[in-house]
Amino acid sequence: MRYISIHNSVPGMILARHVWGPRGQILLTANTVLKDSYIQRLLDLQYSAIYIKSYESEPVENLVEPVKQQTLVQAKETLRSIVDIALSSSRIDIPKIVSIVESIVDQVLGNRDVIYNMADIKAFDDYTFGHSVDVCVLSVMCASEMGMNKYELLDLGTGAIMHDMGKLFIPKEILSKVSHLSADDWDVIRQHPWDGFQFLRRQIPLIPAHIALQHHERFDGSGYPRGLEDEAMLNLAKVTAVADSYNAMTSDRPYRRAMMPHQALPIIVREAGRSYNPDVVKAFTRVVAEYPLGSLVRLSDGSTACVSGATKGIYQLTIASGPREGESIQVSRDSELAIIERIE
């Protein structure tokens, strides 16, 4: 399976994974042979990449993921409906939120050795709800790696999935602005954690509400809205701060294209001890693949390979060129043979 830019797709390629629409519908099923019209439709919807088969008979079922793709799609749609109701009634459907989070937590705990191993595939306008669900998954995975118990994970997941509720009160023209934000725009943006907290605090437990309040605070006190330093932050909020930043970096935004994981993770690591808690960063890098499934990479011996699987610290690779073409190998951080770059 290969992960490629939509601009590099051509008719005749075969999809390796479903392409889901922004409303939770399947636009194209796995095993679909691409046509010009399909590619154009995906371009019109501003999808940035797709998964294609490496060879025609390659199986597409039974991919092991920390949280099933269908669960993520259902969670996004449920969250969308919850927000629609909240906008009109100012009330949050707490049982539905709890149900979403419990499902995510249970799947993460049931797949402890599985890492975040897929690059995100979504339409450009699916960011709001996709981001919230992805931050929930990443936060729960990171906290589980740190040894937090299920009750902590449920609080964390609830706060993480609701962390951006304050953005409902930001004018859309600011959120979708392509040009540089003005000082006044930034004042409005920096208000959203507080607005979200005020909206949530009477409806959900205080710990999840404080996670939403603190997700833009930073280790050195440079964050907002209150400029809290590390020791003043909730441990759970420290996790969401990293997950939120990483997912924002790896998602398409109005003003820039998404980074790939191998570009975003080093930034997170560099900011350990400055923007982010070092212990959280260390755990986060253990549960997120720098080179996701389907990436084409160059190895230190000059050969190229496709990432066919990954667990904590180990990549399963299929050699694509070189003397060992077709051979399946494993590479770890301690291996003499190493991944040196992703091939675009």
* Segment 259-271, tens digit of pLDDT: 889 999 999 999 9
Q: Are 122 and 20 in contact (CB under 8 A)?
A: yes
pLDDT in tens, the chain (344 residues): 888 888 889 999 999 888 887 666 788 999 999 999 999 999 888 787 888 998 888 877 556 788 988 888 889 889 989 988 888 888 899 999 999 999 999 999 998 888 887 665 555 455 678 899 999 999 999 999 999 999 999 999 999 999 999 998 898 888 878 788 889 999 999 999 999 999 999 899 999 999 999 999 999 999 999 999 999 999 999 999 999 999 999 887 766 777 889 999 999 999 999 999 999 999 999 999 998 888 899 999 999 999 988 888 789 999 998 888 889 999 987 788 889 898 86
Joined together, the tokens standing for residue 213 give 């309040």
DSSP character string of 102-150: HHHHHHHHHTTTB-B-------GGGHHHHHHHHHHHHHHHHHHHTT--H
Are the beta carbons of 239 and 139 closer than 8 angstroms? yes
Phi, then psi, of 121 in degrees rounded to 5: -120, 110
